[in-house]
Amino acid sequence: MDSTLLVAIGAAIAVLTGIGAGLGISLATGKAADAIARQPEADGKIRTTLLIGCALAEATAIYGFVIALLIVLLLK
| DSSP labels, 8-71 | HHHHHHHHTHHHHHHHHHHHHHHHHHHHHHH-GGGHHHHHHHHHHHHHHHHHHHHHHHHHHHHH
Number of domains the chain is built from? 1
The percent of residues in the chain predicted with pLDDT above 90, rounded, is 64
User: Model-level pTM?
Assistant: 0.76
Express each pLDDT in 18-51 by its tens digit: 898 999 999 999 999 999 999 999 999 999 999 9
Residue 68: burial class (beta carbons within 10 Å; 0-12, 13-18, 19+): buried
Local structure of residue 76 (DSSP, 8 states): -
Rounded to whole angstroms, how far apart are CA atoms 53 and 63?
16
The residue range of the domain holding 42 is 3-74
CATH number of the structural domain spanning residue 42:
1.20.20.10
